[in-house]
């Protein structure tokens, strides 16, 4: 034991010492980087979440210092707590990579893959996962299941076709709002998120279901089809709100705030839940105190158009033909200067 | 004649009433435990008997009981799992219908052993008559002073409640059962914590099958050591087998574990052989979720020894050439039965019953069903067989509860043992609609399995 009351666990050969009771996933998040298992359903702010999507499966090759036997099956890292001396294999185990690929394939067989018209595209966990693990072709040759789109409340639209049944929105509705207004009905692959009665979601924090949704199943109707996310610029801002912390991210397109969301960390989890007034009503710059631009992962498509100016390579400024070919971008560079 | 412990008096008229049940020696076990034994002694006795869970997994019951956490000031619960819905299994329903007091008596004995003062019998929603029978039996037992406050002046209190389920197969999984019992959606919980630590309402809970609980009565009456003498190796005692399919005498049989499978199928005491003089083609030995075995492998193991009805012998050979005792749903198929159609039928069941909580099972069961339906309806392609094997492999072991495995095993094993029949179906779609592949095609012994 490295320190008093700390467990040492090694994930893909990298050791970290964590508090007892930490899950493998959270231990991996403390290390960070590529070895963090993806999580579609786990949400650290929601009690009881996790264990369902199976994308975070890892192999425990050594149970603990006391009992070094490996665990017989792959385990969900989001719900398995670490033991002292545990050795976990994530991306170093072919078995895990294979299983994750299988799970991604399963998640995608009934997904409509309508990314070109989906508001979530660009910040979608399933898109990232599919890109990382999925194969280019599907082996599924049957009709995908479909549902009618429904409006739950006047600000939120539920697009059940895209849902992966992570239950995050159900936990959100259960835990941060006082009335249980929606849940899962049906069973198996015909299960659906539903409110039973359309439009019944009407409380001050219902909008948070949009933020917790890892895919485009729950979308903000005030933002719907306004813009692709990579054309918008996220900015940290706050306001003095009576209901919530008032700490948000504003998404600008030009001068206009077209969307307000809670602030998300690098794992896509919100820092604090925000109220519907902040989310849906306050859409003028004058409502907010701007802090700073939101840090964007350089690999993310959201940063692509904003934080990196087009720097023409030296060769372009010398060659006239190349200048004509890149005219549009060069003009833009001039304008931004 | 094999010894009977549970169904000894099954043919007695009126055995469902307390009066006749007592005349035949009923409730002796309750008297014995309450007056002469401490709860720990009861647990010890059950441990000695070597009784293994009759619901399917075969986990030693005494061991399960001893895992129960016993914190101060927290109630403990015993829950009887009567949500029998495995295709091919109908032994618990039989027991509850005809000798409800055997279950009630077992519940009292087990609850006493565990220190539970409230116990539940969770019965599948479709079994409404059985629920009424049990409720009447509880009333009778209560009137006779076997339930309620201060039972037989021992100072021990116990209430038993019958809870009808909503009729979902998944609620037979113990944690989904507890969720359902709490009034929630029957989704299996993620383990750990196991129910022995945090089960019903977050309290330590033991969930046992109807038959396991009923089996504690003869264990207490005759002693655990006596019970352990019946059976073979670590499969002790008797087991109820629900025999169905193309046999002469379908029904529920109580067998001593260790009975040769061949004797079980062909002796007149049990199934009485195949109906209409047909030949045996395949057997599902323990309910729809266990791997299906062809005739030659069900009667003898791959090593050439006779296969016995016991936990060990049936699983001899692992999943390559073996199967499992499971819940004892013994389904025999004769040469006229179509394995492809049957596998599709099972897959359809699991597709319908998957709870939809975790992705591989939710999507995979539906996928397998659709591919099997495609093959069965004559539109299959040769590559579909490998696809099925691959999908089954991807579901197996990657899910929260064993339903994923249960859905994958029948498909994987059917293809493993009857691949030629699947291929024949794909190659001759027209023929497959009008006739069956037939046992004749298996004149040669099946291909040796590596």
Residue B404 shares a structural domain with residue B325: no
Find out whether A64 and A84 touch, Cβ atoms under 8 Å: yes
| In-domain check, residue B158 | yes
Residue B125 shares a structural domain with residue B241: no
Residue B205 shares a structural domain with residue B80: yes
Find out whether B151 and B145 touch, Cβ atoms under 8 Å: yes
List C-alpha distances in Å: B64 to A330, B67, B110, B315: 74, 5, 12, 22
Residue B127's nearest CA partner among B152, B92, B80 is: B92
pLDDT of chain A, 337 residues: tens digit per residue? 445 789 999 999 999 999 999 999 999 999 988 899 999 999 999 998 999 999 999 999 998 888 899 999 999 999 999 999 999 999 999 999 999 999 999 999 999 999 999 999 988 989 989 988 877 888 999 999 999 888 888 888 999 999 999 999 989 888 887 767 778 888 888 888 887 656 566 788 888 999 999 999 999 999 999 998 888 889 999 999 998 999 999 999 888 999 999 999 888 899 999 999 999 999 999 999 999 888 887 777 887 666 555 566 666 777 788 778 777 777 776 766 5
Residue B116 shares a structural domain with residue B260: no
Find out whether A45 and A31 touch, Cβ atoms under 8 Å: no
Find out whether B271 and B250 touch, Cβ atoms under 8 Å: yes
Residue B42 shares a structural domain with residue B115: yes
Contact residues on chain B for A76, CB-CB shorter than 8 A: 190, 400
List C-alpha distances in Å: A43 to A185, A213, A271, B154: 22, 10, 11, 50
Q: Do A74 and B387 make contact, defined as CB atoms within 8 angstroms?
A: no
Number of domains in chain B: 3
Residue A160, helix vs strand vs coil: helix
**Which CATH code for domain A7-100?**
3.10.20.740
Neighbours of A297 (CB within 10 A): 9
Find out whether B110 and B208 touch, Cβ atoms under 8 Å: yes
| In-domain check, residue B10 | no
Domain harbouring B313, CATH code:
3.10.20.600
Burial class from Cβ neighbours inside 10 Å (0-12, 13-18, 19+) for residue A180 reads exposed
Closest Cβ opposite residue B400 in set A51, A103, A188: A51
Residue B281 shares a structural domain with residue B376: no
Pick the last residue of a domain from B334, B358, B388: B334
Tell me which residues of chain B, numbers 380 to 409, contact chain A at a CB-CB cutoff of 8 Å: 387, 394, 397-400
Residue B165 shares a structural domain with residue B216: yes
Domain harbouring B433, CATH code:
1.20.1440.230
Domain, as residue range, for B117: 18-229
A218-220 sheet: strands from edge to edge: A150-152, A156-158, A218-220
Residue B223 shares a structural domain with residue B242: no
State pLDDT tens for residues A51-96.
999 999 999 999 888 889 999 999 999 999 999 999 999 999 999 9
Residue B214 shares a structural domain with residue B238: no
Which of A50, A54, A165 best tests the B interface by mutation, with the highest count of B CBs <10 A? A54
Element counts in chain A: helices (H) and strands (E) = 9, 14
Going from N- to C-terminal start, the domains of chain A cover 7-100, 110-137+145-220, 229-303, 307-337
CATH 3.30.70.20 corresponds to the domain A110-137+145-220 = yes
Domain harbouring B70, CATH code:
3.40.50.11540
Residue B296 shares a structural domain with residue B403: no
Provide the whole-model pTM.
0.90
| In-domain check, residue B4 | no
Q: Do A189 and B354 make contact, defined as CB atoms within 8 angstroms?
A: yes
Which of A102, A130, A145 best tests the B interface by mutation, with the highest count of B CBs <10 A? A102
Q: Phi first, then psi: give them for residue B80, nearest 5 degrees.
A: -95, 125
Inform me whether the pLDDT recorded for B415 exceeds 80.
yes
| In-domain check, residue B450 | no
Q: Looking at residue B446, what is its pLDDT?
A: 43
| In-domain check, residue B163 | yes
Pick the last residue of a domain from B197, B229, B261: B229
Share of chain B above pLDDT 90, in %: 81
| In-domain check, residue B330 | yes
CB of B365 within 8 Å of a chain A CB? The answer is: yes
| In-domain check, residue B2 | no
Contact residues on chain A for B399, CB-CB shorter than 8 A: 54
End-to-end CA distance of chain A: 56
Find out whether A196 and B365 touch, Cβ atoms under 8 Å: no
State pLDDT tens for residues B211-246.
999 999 999 999 999 999 999 989 999 999 999 999
Kindly identify which residue of chain B lies nearest to residue A98, measuring between CA atoms: B394
Find out whether B154 and B35 touch, Cβ atoms under 8 Å: yes
Find out whether A31 and A11 touch, Cβ atoms under 8 Å: yes
Residue B254 shares a structural domain with residue B382: no
Pick the last residue of a domain from B308, B334, B360: B334
Residue B197 shares a structural domain with residue B56: yes
Q: Do A102 and B362 make contact, defined as CB atoms within 8 angstroms?
A: no
């Amino acid at each position: 034991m490295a320190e008093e009351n700390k467990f040492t666990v090694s994930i893909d050969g990298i050791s970290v010492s964590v508090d007892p009771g930490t899950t493998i996933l959270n231990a991996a998040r403390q290390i960070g980087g590529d070895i963090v298992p993806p999580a579609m359903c786990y949400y650290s702010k929601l009690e009881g979440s996790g264990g369902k999507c199976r994308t975070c499966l890892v192999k425990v090759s050594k149970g603990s210092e006391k009992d070094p036997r490996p665990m017989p099956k792959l385990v969900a890292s989001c719900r398995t707590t670490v033991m002292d001396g545990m050795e976990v294999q994530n991306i170093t185990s072919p078995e895990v990579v294979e299983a994750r690929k299988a799970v991604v394939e399963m998640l995608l067989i009934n997904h409509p893959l309508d990314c070109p018209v989906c508001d979530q595209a660009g910040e979608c966990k399933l898109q990232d996962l599919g890109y990382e693990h999925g194969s280019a072709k599907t082996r599924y040759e049957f009709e995908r299941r479909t549902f009618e789109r429904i409006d739950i409340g006047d600000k939120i639209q539920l697009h059940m076709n895209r849902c992966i049944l992570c239950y995050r929105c159900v936990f959100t509705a259960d835990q941060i709002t006082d009335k249980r207004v929606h849940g899962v009905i049906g069973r198996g692959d015909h299960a659906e998120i539903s409110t039973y009665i359309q439009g019944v979601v009407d409380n001050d924090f219902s909008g948070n279901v949009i933020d917790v949704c890892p895919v485009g199943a729950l979308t903000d109707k005030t933002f719907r089809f306004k813009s692709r996310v990579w054309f918008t610029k996220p900015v940290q801002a706050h306001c003095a709100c009576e209901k919530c912390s008032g700490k948000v991210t504003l998404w600008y397109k030009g001068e206009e705030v077209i969307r307000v969301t809670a602030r998300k960390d690098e794992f896509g989890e919100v820092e604090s839940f925000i109220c519907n007034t902040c989310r849906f009503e306050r859409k003028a710059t004058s409502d907010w105190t701007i802090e700073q631009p939101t840090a964007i992962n350089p690999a993310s498509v959201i940063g692509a158009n904003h934080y990196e100016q087009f720097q023409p390579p030296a060769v372009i400024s010398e060659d006239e033909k190349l200048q004509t070919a890149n005219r549009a971008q060069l003009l833009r560079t001039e304008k931004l200067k | 004649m094999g010894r009977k412990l549970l169904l000894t008096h099954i043919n007695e008229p009126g055995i469902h009433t307390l009066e006749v049940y007592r005349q035949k020696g009923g409730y002796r076990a309750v008297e014995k435990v309450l007056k002469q034994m401490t709860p720990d002694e009861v647990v010890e006795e059950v441990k000695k008997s070597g009784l293994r869970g009759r619901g399917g997994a075969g986990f030693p019951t005494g061991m399960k009981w001893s895992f129960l956490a016993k914190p101060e000031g927290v109630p403990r619960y015993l829950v009887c799992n009567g949500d029998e819905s495995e295709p091919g299994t109908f032994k618990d329903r039989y027991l509850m219908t005809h000798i409800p007091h055997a279950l009630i008596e077992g519940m009292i004995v087990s609850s006493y052993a565990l220190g539970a003062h409230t116990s539940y019998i969770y019965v599948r929603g479709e079994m409404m008559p059985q629920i009424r029978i049990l409720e009447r039996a509880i009333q009778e037992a209560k009137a006779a002073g076997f339930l309620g406050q201060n039972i037989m002046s021992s100072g021990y209190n116990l209430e038993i409640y019958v809870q009808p389920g909503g009729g979902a197969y998944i609620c037979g999984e113990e944690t989904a059962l507890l969720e359902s019992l709490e009034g929630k959606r029957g989704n299996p919980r993620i383990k750990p914590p196991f129910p022995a630590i945090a089960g019903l309402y977050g309290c330590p809970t033991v969930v046992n099958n109807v038959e396991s609980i009923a089996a504690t009565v003869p264990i207490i009456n005759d002693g655990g050591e006596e019970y352990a003498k019946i059976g073979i190796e670590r499969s002790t005692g008797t087991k109820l087998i629900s025999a169905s399919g193309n046999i002469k005498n379908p029904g529920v049989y109580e067998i001593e574990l260790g009975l040769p499978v061949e004797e079980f199928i062909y002796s007149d005491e049990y199934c009485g052989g195949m109906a209409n003089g047909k030949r045996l083609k395949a057997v599902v030995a323990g309910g729809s979720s266990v791997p299906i075995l062809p005739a030659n492998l069900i009667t003898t193991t791959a090593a050439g020894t006779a296969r016995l009805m016991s936990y060990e012998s049936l699983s001899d050979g692992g999943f390559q050439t073996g199967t499992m005792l499971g819940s004892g749903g013994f389904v025999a198929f004769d040469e006229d039965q179509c394995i492809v159609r049957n596998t599709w039928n099972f897959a359809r069941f699991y597709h319908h019953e998957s709870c939809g909580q975790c992705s591989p099972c939710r999507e995979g069961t539906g996928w397998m069903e659709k591919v099997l339906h495609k093959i069965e309806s004559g539109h299959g392609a040769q590559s579909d067989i490998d696809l099925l094997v691959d999908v089954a492999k991807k579901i197996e072991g990657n899910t929260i509860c064993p339903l994923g495995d249960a859905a994958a095993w029948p498909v994987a094993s059917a293809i493993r043992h009857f691949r030629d029949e699947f291929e024949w179906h794909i190659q001759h779609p027209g023929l497959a609609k009008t006739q069956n592949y037939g046992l004749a095609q298996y004149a040669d012994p099946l291909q040796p399995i590596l």
